[in-house]
Structure 1
């Protein structure tokens, strides 16, 4: 629990903002250090101060909070907007029910947020290069550039899945307005750029970091996101190879109890391939954290005034679980109803629906420890965000193996995820899959991805790449969805106007 007491020069703070970190860092005031005297900790490098500014953007509201949750989860069949019917207005309601308008503030915020992360990554590369001649450690320099390129590759991978065509920026712009004359690159061009960045990162990043650097990118993170980029393009052999590299590293496994993964004690464990770090204390409740859990917290009163109540599990997701699957209880937090109390993972009695809370279900994976809620804040800004778990890598490996005709390997990998899931459950639940037919196994792997990764921001993108988005969303009641339009967000009209038409709109909008 030390992360809630202090940060030892970690990802949670951008070192260019000492004023926001003084309570957590034992350092002199800002301005006392020069490039030559900056005392980077053992295991770090003189380039850390540049890379950390880019890492800091991961916690941005426009990167992994509001628009992110809306576009990656609420748009899917596994989640609904939640809260009250009118909360969020048309901007959020359209994310749930389609179509998203070109004037959407959330779409524009995502555009700005992720291209901002790109620019910060490019800035870090520029800064590293600008002082590299003063330092002789070539390996350290390449490693730092690899971190920046990992973040840039991740940002573009998110952008291409959200918007399809976006401008490709490979150089830092001190004034982003100077980039308004750059047209969009095609998805194919962007994927080539993403692959190049992630392969460089995989070659130059370390296998792991000292615990004081929790959250920094590793070879496993780079290969894992690379596998996801390949599998999105149906590059099955490349996806198989990248995912297999993560598996064969021996650094990750499925030993963590599923229920523990999403708690504070489960952060950065053996299951974690890449997650965004948040921290908070009673003195600094938000500045060094991320609002991700707060946005999804139970919308109640008193002790249950935990957040906005957005991104609630859907009845379609609820119905998708096999009987007795223990993962359901850790994913869906049921409100109490008359005669049937709902209990949290911490054995708390939930408020009653509909008299005390507006929704019958909430996201259980984002519920924080009540001891910390009572001692730090009810906002839960310290909760980490899981971007890539090892189970996701295993299921990508199973999917690509099946598409390559390796049915026995695919089945074994699938069953390893099911075996972990049934631990602690009733006898006989989640039996091993015995099918070896490719088509049947494909559907079972897809089902397992839905359940294992529920509410973790993969479902919408999975439906799109499988070509099943329209049928699945219509079955869940989101009948306004049109495959010809809604697989991508609109290019924000604000950005089209700023570039005087250099940017062009996506089809259907």
Structure 2
């Protein structure tokens, strides 16, 4: 197998791309995942394209530590009112604790790692786009070029969407620049959003609706349109958000047929619920190279056979109290330590132990005993990371419809909302009754609540609170008393990046 690995080297904000090719061949037991070739599909199999060397390098960065591991978990979940840091008091140090208790310091090394990680991904996307536009040695049809450009622009749009929500004002790079061109000032959020929308619209128009199974997990038109709906929703562009969500919902590619308790396990990967997932895999001999560490950071922390991870990102009592009585989603979200008087079970029917370091863990990040036995270790690197679920799209549709108002839109919002609740109740008519309230303000509160419960511990809550203008009240109610929305809605611009820029970059307000 030839593994294509792009390496970022740095000076200043971000630096040039170095493409390295490492030889060797290893046959994976599972479906081929992003970022790799084997001898059966090299140089590129039917249905793919001649730019996969560059595209797969960008996909590979979706699994990178600075993109979707510790910093991502801290910034999207632990900063919210749903989760606490977990692990031990000292683990992660001041940099991790400040993400839970605020304020985050500009010197925070985890935040700087996120900055460089995401700009590494953006750089790889720009390199791919440059190759598509300018490399005359690669023979490709116009259709192949358009599809490859769409894939790179989807990944770039996603990266910038996270970055603008993390940091606000950030430098905008939409092409490969020379080393002397990289030190540019920040663009406004409006300018960043304009690029994101442009990228995702192009991706939605030029990506396939689905891929051959050998390419499972590659970006589709549905993924681009679904992400675009969230981009619109974040900017309160309700009509555009509703239309984009509706396009996904009427595509025939997705539905709510996957039971809630199955979505998050290994057998639920790439189901009809999945709009976009970061693909990961492993073998008994190769634990980490093709995986992502997100699950390990949230796994059960224990000194014995239950030692599945580091124990970060634990759901808290504030979230637990928000569930309606009898909601089955609570058990799939809260993984509880057994006590001397009460025995709790995992989703796979195992009795939990009394020895766990923490009383509760994120049940959605729990790896199955069957896969632990299959691979011979517990880390969970093989678990896909869910980025966009169909239920998320349906709830975005409901939210946008309610915000637009009017009798017809209220009916649409209720139908969408209740379809998510119906799947959650799983046939038990005694719980989660249909919502019938038509008052716009009351329905808004209900939809916000439903998003919290349906997507609990799935890396959306903090972003939702900020876009709703509810971050201050919600985090204060959760006891995070150092939170100051005017400062903490955004992370600080890393001081290391300000220093490297010689002051071209400026700090966010309040830091």
Query: Equivalent residues in 2 for 1:199-278 (5 A)?
Result: 199-278=201-280
Shift of 1:65: 0.3
| Structure 1 partner of 2:413 | 410
CA distance in 2, matches of 1:78, 1:475: 11
CA distance in 2, matches of 1:427, 1:202: 38
Which one of 304, 307, 310 corresponds to residue 309 of structure 2?
307
CA distance in 1, matches of 2:3, 2:412: 42
Tell whether the 8 Å contact from 1:10 to 1:212 is kept in structure 2 after alignment: no
Tell whether the 8 Å contact from 2:3 to 2:23 is kept in structure 1 after alignment: no
When residues 93 and 323 of structure 1 are mapped into structure 2, their CA distance, relative to the original with a 3 A threshold, is: same
| Structure 2 partner of 1:317 | 319
| Structure 2 partner of 1:393 | 393
Query: Which secondary structure does the structure 2 equivalent of 1:470 belong to?
Result: helix
Return 5+ residue gaps in structure 2 as ranges. 6-18
CA distance in 2, matches of 1:497, 1:385: 34
**1:68 is the counterpart of 2:72:** yes
Shift of 1:278: 0.4
Query: Which secondary structure does the structure 1 equivalent of 2:292 belong to?
Result: coil
When residues 322 and 247 of structure 1 are mapped into structure 2, their CA distance, relative to the original with a 3 A threshold, is: same
Q: Which moved more, 1:133-142 or 1:365-374?
A: 133-142
CA distance in 2, matches of 1:193, 1:201: 12
Query: Equivalent residues in 2 for 1:115-130 (5 A)?
Result: 115-130=119-134
When residues 173 and 319 of structure 1 are mapped into structure 2, their CA distance, relative to the original with a 3 A threshold, is: same
Query: Equivalent residues in 2 for 1:341-420 (5 A)?
Result: 341-352=343-354, 356-376=355-375, 377-405=377-405, 406-420=409-423
CA distance in 2, matches of 1:187, 1:179: 21
List per-residue Cα deviations over 1:118-158 (Å, max 9, x = no partner): 00100111122233575351011110011000000000000
Shift of 1:342: 1.8
CA distance in 2, matches of 1:407, 1:431: 17
CA distance in 1, matches of 2:317, 2:211: 41
CA distance in 2, matches of 1:380, 1:136: 38
Corresponding pairs, count: 487
TM-score by length of 2: 0.92
**1:281 is the counterpart of 2:266:** no
Tell whether the 8 Å contact from 1:422 to 1:430 is kept in structure 2 after alignment: yes
Query: Which secondary structure does the structure 2 equivalent of 1:479 belong to?
Result: coil
CA distance in 2, matches of 1:196, 1:459: 26
| Structure 1 partner of 2:466 | 464
CA distance in 2, matches of 1:145, 1:335: 48
Query: Which secondary structure does the structure 1 equivalent of 2:305 belong to?
Result: helix
Return 5+ residue gaps in structure 1 as ranges. 1-6
Q: Give the root-mean-square deviation of aligned CA atoms.
A: 2.2
Query: Which secondary structure does the structure 2 equivalent of 1:184 belong to?
Result: coil
When residues 432 and 183 of structure 1 are mapped into structure 2, their CA distance, relative to the original with a 3 A threshold, is: same
Tell whether the 8 Å contact from 1:8 to 1:212 is kept in structure 2 after alignment: no
TM-score by length of 1: 0.92
Q: Which runs of structure 1 show a deviation greater than 4 angstroms over 4 or more consecutive aligned residues?
A: 7-11, 15-21
